[in-house]
Every structure is written in structure tokens, then in C-alpha cells.
Structure 1
Amino acid sequence: MDVVQERIDRFLERQRPVLRTIAPDLDPFALFSSDLLQGGKRFRALFCYWGWQSVAGLDTGFDPLGSPPDERALEAVMSASTGLEFFHAAALVHDDIMDNSDTRRGLPAAHRRFERLHREGSWLGEPGSFGTSGALLMGDLLLAWSDELVSSAFDDLPSRDAARAARAEFNRMRTEVTVGQYLDILEESAWRTVPDIDLLPRAQRVIVYKSAKYSVEAPLTIGAAMAGGSPQALESLRHFGLPLGIAYQLRDDLLGVFGDPEVTGKPAGDDLREGKRTVLVATARRALPPGAVRLLDELLGDPELDDDQIAMLQATLRDSGAVDAVEQSIADQVERANHALERSELSPSARAQLSRLADTVTRRTS
């Protein structure tokens, strides 16, 4: 969505002089934010837009592929969509800190860039600590900018009821993704104290709250609520969005282990070095013999894994049948999502577009 990128660029251009008025030393916040927000797949913006379109088409007879809607309503939904991209950027910055990741989208992660500033400036103290602190504050600033954009969008809605409903969806999303992120780091630390039989359902819980809801379901319902969607319309979108969001994250988990670095912008097997206790790993542990499980547990989370060890772990996961099982789960979740879409009362054009998006987000390579 080029229009979202244009809005991102315009917003950051307005923020640069504000930051410079405070201090020229704040230039990195604008620069690093701009770099992080360049490109991307814009899935959250797209789902917000089509959540809105689906209800607008249903309730008003408006054809999303035909004449344009009310300009004020369109401006509001595009502002909200842009705000969701800022929220996603903030989540990436914080996620990279927690995962100790070196790269994001082919560039150094934000905390590494602040760390480099410290080193190049020969400043006092420890560069890593400065980098973490700087990136934490950058993530917080992106969250503030996200709320600024989204709040202005809700304020511009002609219906106060729609604004309240959309704000409730946005607030729920922020709570869910934050606690979902905590559940993710909890699994990396506490898994040895958890019975083996509970590891898979706990990994599935992380998927739902860390990613599935905020990547697909919440953007859909925020957009639909902005259009004044009924509880039934929002529920239809939830039935579509949640299984699709689960499939989206399952694909992400596979890419985190097997993705091409030239495409993903992150090193091969990055999730293995970070020790991600994903559905893929939990599924493999259930199928592997005890000796292989012990080796997997020993190596997973070692940041010094070399290419040969990564290749060995990749082969172990494939041979266990876990990769095929996750691929089947993706297919099953997409089928659930499409079935919910077929049973919904959304406009035909919205159903067609959402079906195409479902295919795109689950077949992606980055």
C-alpha cells in the first residue's frame, strides 16, 4: 500500500523538526524509525482497510471496487492503518531487544544501531547497555506516535459509537500482544519446569496472543468497528481472522528456521539461536527419541551455533515430521478461515479480497 508509506513519510517529516527543536542529538530517532518503516508487507494496514471496506460495502451498498467512499471516513481508516504500522514497528524494536537479534529487515536492529552510536562517539559507559536503553525509548516513542495517529482517526469518525467500539478493539489488541510477548519469553525461560505434555498447548497459546490476534484479527475488527459494524459483523471477522492469524504465525515460525536470509533479512536459523520454543519445536519434541530431544534442548538457544549445527537442527526438525505437521496445520487453519469467510455476510468484493490476502500471508517467503 504505497499510500501508507506516503503517510508514514509525511508523519515522520513533521516529527523531525519537533525532535530537532528539543535537541539535534535526537536525529537518530527519526532516521532509525524511517529506515525501519520503509517497505514491509503492510498486512496490518491491509487488514484494517479491508475490515472497514467489508462493513462499508455490506451496510451502505458501497462497492469497494467502484466509486470512492466518503472522504472523511477514508481519511480516518487510512490514518488508523498507518498507526497500526507504527505499532508494529514498536513491537519489532522491543522484540529484537528481548531476542538479542542483530538484524531486522536486512539492517542492524535498532539496539545495535544505538550501540554503534556509542562506540563511534567513544562515550562513557557500556555500549550494549546504551543501545538497549536507546532502542527501548525508540520503541516507546513509536508506540506514542501510533496512539497519536490512531486516536486522531477515531476522533474524526462521525459516529461516537463507532469511535468507542474501535478504541475498545485497539485497547484489547495492545493488552493481548503485550502479555503475549511476555508469554513468549516465559516459554524460553520456564520450559524445563513445564510437563512435556503441556509444551505444545503453551506454544499454541503464545501464537494466539503474541501474533495471531494483533497481526490479523485485531486490524480487521478495528477497521470494521470504525465503519460501524454490528457485533455479528465483527464476530464474523474474528472467526476468519483468528485461524488466519495462527496460520500466519506458523508460517513465520517455519521461516525463522528455514527462511532464506536474502529474503527474510535475518540470519538463517535465527529462531534456533534465539531459543524460540515454537509449535514447530514442541511438535518435534513429541516425535523425537529421548536422545534427540536432549540434543535439541541442549543446542536450542545457543547464540554461537555455527552453520553446521544449524543444518543439523534443521534436518532433525524435518526428519521428526514436525515440518510436515506444521504445514498441515497451516492448511487446516486456512481452511477454517475460508470456511468462516464463505459463511459470513460480508460483501462479495470484500470476501474475494480477504481470500486473496489469506493466500498471500500464508504462502509468503519473508
Structure 2
Amino acid sequence: MRPTQAREHHAAAPPPAVRALTLPVTPVRVRPDGATTGAPRDGAAAGAGAAGASGAAGAGCLPGAGVLPAGAGVLPAGAGVLPEGAGVLRPGAEDPRAVDADVPAAVGRVLAGVLDERVARARAVDPLFARELAGRVARFTRTGGKRGRSRLVWWAWRACGGGDRAAASAVLRIGAALELLQTCALVQDDVMDGSVRRRGRAALHADVAAEYAGRAPAARAGRFGEAAAVLAGDLALAWADDLVAETPLGPGTAVAVRRLWSDIRLEMVAGQYLDVQGQVTRSRSLARALRTACLKSARYSVERPLALGAALAGADDATARALASAGRCVGTAFQLRDDLDDVFGDPRLTGRPCGGDIREGKPTCLTALAWARAEASADHHALAVLERSLGNAALTGAELDEVRDVLDRTGARATVETRIDRLVTRGLRRLDDAALAPAGEYRLRRLLTATAGGTSTAGSAGSTGSAGPTGSAGPAGSTASAGSAGPAGHPGPVLTCATGQEPLAVVPGAGEVLR
């Protein structure tokens, strides 16, 4: 389908020295219900034309108003003109069985086509913008990353019975949109956190600042890099929204997918805000840390991708609810694993320096739990270490080792490790309530387990209240059930993930349960 050509509306003859700039045209796309998208309604087009005519006439009321000097605004021949066929949506058909063999590669192919087209459009707008910003967004999205969210969409779709070739293309496009959304989240998160490394290389804002280091003072180059990264995130989000909007979907499916897409963006921003708000207020609340984790990671990284896959497959309500519950549990475990990796992980594997969350004073579940344990046992040394370390940007390697020792001695690390496995196990058990296709369900269970780095398997033990190893929720193998003994034998409430069902840890004196 060819894109429609923009109609010209002239109120007066243009100044003789100015040539018209041809900008990219949004193509008209026909939805399955026969309606079109991407082109203005007749009334809107007429209104735009009337407004343009009125504006042009008004500009002519002042002598010389709106008249540019000879040659001003003239671009080289061909500038602003897209290559033939650029911007045209060509929904193809993917063989689901072929995609099953390598989902990341299939998503990568979709991304390659989308990013090539978007960068071409950016180049038509301005070559410098395309080279320095749009190109960076494209490279960041293409390279690095495990395509975890798009894989979850795919395998949820397959587990819910998805197998249509045309629908498979739509699933891959939604997966690609999630990868662009992740680009937005990461490049802006690096600015907020002051992180200079991402995926084993310079973060986007640091890369821009380094390029301009010789052309501006260091502070100004650094500020420019941050501004560029904010704009890069905005651009990635715009491209992601475009991709969702341009994906052909049936009317009912389109409503469900776009509502979920709206939710995932809102929750991602809310979680990020709670994260930075917790840093500035030096929050020590485990409930608040868990709430942040649920919004920033659990829903965004796991629950909503599963929901998107279920919606694309037309899953029934019971199956959709089961997948959502499973995703909430596994997504919380995913964030807990990320908390551990930040302090104890290998930078060669994580792609970031150790201790970033500690230096930034992030309100993680790991440190909040250690704080609560230290207070409950009157461990003044542990409290002193945490007090001077959390939010200390100049924290040394030796001082980070002290924090690691506190996390071990208070049992916080062991508790989080155990809770990861239990949350994954409970999440997998939620899938028992869903009517899933066996082959897709098997791959989905494996992916969910790997997502959180847990050791749970389908059908393994781990029901609420089962005994954990020594130190998992308190000394002497205390249990995970409500009211179970915490350190020093004091009873405490159970903090849960956002479903209100999944125990995380017994915290004496916390006095709140996250529902």
C-alpha cells in the first residue's frame, strides 16, 4: 500500500526564493475492520488547511512578514525526500515454528527493518540529528540486551495457543516495541543514576559527552550528553508507540493491547519516580522498596509482557489472570535477583560496576531488609556501616566489602536468595490454573525460571509456609508463613508482592503489609 501524498494548501504564492521541503509522510494503514489510520479526517484536513490559509494571510499584514531572504531555508536537492517505499508498513507472515528456534533473532530482524526506516526518516529531517541521535538510539537498541521481554511476549502467545502466521508478525512487532521502550528506560535511567557504563560500554550520555569533550568545557559537554540522552529516550518511546499503533490487529485485540501498552508505560514511569524519590528521602521501608520493585520491574519486565502475549492470542480471562499472577511473582524475583547482582555480581557478566545501587542510595529490598534485621537485633556496627555507605558516591571497594559482610551477617542475602526461588516456584504454580498448549507452556516455564535466575522447576515444592534453610527468613530455619519467627524469635508481619499473596520476608517491627 502506497502512502497517501500530502495535499498542498496555498493561501498565497510562496516567496520566489524559497523551495518547499518534502517531509516524511505518515502512510494510511487499513485495519482489519476496514478503518484507516495515519491520515487526517476530512474535517481535520480542511480545518488544518483553513488554519494555514488564515495564518498565511495574517502574516502578510505586516510588510515583509514571512518573507525569507533569498536562499534562506533552501536544502540541497533531494534533501528531506525519503527513499522509494520508506515508511510503508508491509506486514509479512512469519512461520511460528521457525521463530520458535530463535526468537531473539526474529525480533532482531523486525527491529532492523523498523530502525532502518526510522533512521532514514530522521535523515530526511536533518542529517546531523540522524547521525548523532537517531543513529545512537538505533545502535543501542540493536546491540546488547537479551530480548527478554519480547521473548516473554512470544512464548506467552505460543503457550496460549497462538500459531497463526500473520498474527506471528504482529507478536514480533509488539516485542520489538518493548525493546524500544526498554531503550527509553535504560538511557534515561543512566542519566538519573549517573551511570557511565551500560551493557559493557559507555552509556549513551557518556558517549555523547566524550564526543564533544574537545569542543566544549567538560561540564557543558557533560550536560549536553545528559540532554541528548533524555531526547534519545523520548525518541525511542515515540518509535515504540509508532510501532504499536502501526501493527495490524483485530478490533478487540487492538483495544486490549493498547490498554496494556498504556498501563506498562504508566507503571514504568511511576516505578522510576518512586525509585528516585526513595533515594532523595533515604527511604528504609521494605514495603516501599517492594512496591517500587513491583512497579518498576515486576510488571514492566514480566507481568505486562505476558499479558500482551495472552491478549494477542485471545486468551480467556482465567488464563490471562493466571499469567498475570505468575508474571507478578517471577517479576518480583527478577528485581530481587537484580538487587543481588548489583552488589555480588560479576561486572563482566552484568555489564555494570558493582555497588551502583549502594553508592546511589537506592531503596532496594536487599538493603531495606538488612536495615530492618540490624535494627531488630540491635546490631549497631551493621547500622553504622549501612548509614555511612548508602548514598556514598565515593564508596571504595573495601567499604563495599563491608556492606557485603553486613548483608551476609544479617541474613538479608540468604533470605533474598530463598525468596527468589520460592517466588519463582509460586509463579510457575499459577500456570497450573491456565489452559495452556503443552509445548509453549514448557518453554514459557523454562524462560520464567531463567528470567529470575532461580532454581525452581515446574511442580517443585515451595508452598507458602514451607520451611526454608537456616537463615532464609531468620535464624534457625524460620518459616515464611505469616506470623513466623524472625530474628531473635520476635514475630513479624509478612511483606508481600503487589498481588497480596506472595510472602517475601518476615521483618520484625515493620508494621505494614503491602497489598
TM-score (norm 1): 0.90
1:178-257 equivalence runs, <5 A: 178-191=269-282, 199-257=285-343
Query: Unaligned stretches of 5+ in structure 1?
Result: 58-68
The residue identity in structure 2 corresponding to 1:173 is: I
Over the aligned positions, Cα root-mean-square deviation in angstroms equals: 1.7
2:166 is aligned, of 41, 51, 72, to 72
Residues 64-109 of structure 1: CA deviation (Å, up to 9, x unaligned): xxxxx33221111110000000001110011111111011001111
1:34 corresponds to 2:124: no
Runs (4 or more) in structure 1 with deviation over 4 Å come to none
| Whole-angstrom CA distance in 2 between matches of 1:170 and 1:122 | 40
Question: Are the aligned partners of 2:318 and 2:433 in contact in 1 as well (CA < 8 Å)?
Answer: no
Q: How does 1:1-366 map to 2 (within 5 A)?
A: 1-26=104-129, 27-37=131-141, 38-57=143-162, 69-122=163-216, 126-153=220-247, 156-157=248-249, 159-191=250-282, 199-288=285-374, 289-363=379-453
Change in Cα spacing, 1:144 to 1:183, as seen in structure 2 (3 Å) is same
Is the 2:119–2:138 Cα contact (8 Å) retained in structure 1?
Answer: no
Structure 1 range deviating more: 218-227 or 7-16: 7-16
Deviation at 1:297, TM superposition (A): 1.9
| Cα shift at 1:133 | 0.8
Q: Is the 8 A contact 1:274 1:303 kept in 2?
A: yes
Letter in 2 for 1:167: R
Q: 2:246 is paired with a residue of what secondary structure? A: helix
- 1:119 deviates by 1.4
Matched AA of 1:187: G
1:234 CA displacement: 1.1
Could you say what secondary structure the match of 1:310 adopts? helix
74-83 or 15-24: which moved more?
Answer: 15-24
CA offset at residue 35 of structure 1? 3.2
Cα gap change, 1:124 to 1:251, in 2 (>3 Å): closer
Which one has a bigger Cα radius of gyration? 2
Whether the aligned pair in 1 keeps the contact of 2:134 and 2:235 (CA below 8 Å) is no
Q: Distance in 1 between matches of 2:357 and 2:300?
A: 20
Tell me how far apart the structure 1 counterparts of residues 204 and 361 of structure 2 sit (CA, whole Å): 21
Residue 97 (structure 2) aligns with: none
Distance 1:35 1:244, change over 3 A: same
Structure 2 unaligned blocks of 5 or more: 1-103, 455-515
CA deviations on 1:158-217 (whole Å, 9 max, x unpaired) are x2011101111111111111111101111111135xxx6xx0111110110011001011
The one-character-per-residue Cα deviations of 1:7-26 (angstroms, maximum 9, x if unpaired) are: 22222222222222222222
1:123 Cα shift?
Answer: 7.1
| Separation in structure 2 between the aligned mates of residue 286 and residue 211 of structure 1, nearest angstrom | 23
Contact kept in structure 2, 1:84 and 1:150, CA below 8 Å: no
Counterpart-to-counterpart distance in 2, 1:50 and 1:147: 22
Give the Å deviation of 1:291: 3.5
Larger RCO, structure (CA 8 Å, separation 6 or more):
1
Using the TM superposition, give the Cα deviation of residue 347 of structure 1 relative to its aligned residue in structure 2, in angstroms. Answer: 1.6
Q: Distance in 1 between matches of 2:219 and 2:387?
A: 35
8 Å CA contact 1:208–1:242 kept in 2: the answer is yes
CA distance in 2, matches of 1:124, 1:259: 32
Q: CA deviation at 1:263?
A: 1.0
Aligned residues: 345
Shift of 1:143: 0.2
Given that 1:259 and 1:269 are in contact with CA atoms closer than 8 Å, whether structure 2 keeps it comes out as: no
Paired AA for residue 277 in structure 1: P
CA contact (8 A) 1:52 1:227 kept: yes
Q: Residue deviations 1:40-79, cap 9 Å, x none? A: 111100111122222235xxxxxxxxxxx33221111110
Partner deviation per Cα, 1:276-330 (whole Å, 9 max, x = no partner): 1100001111122134213312211212112111122112211211100001110
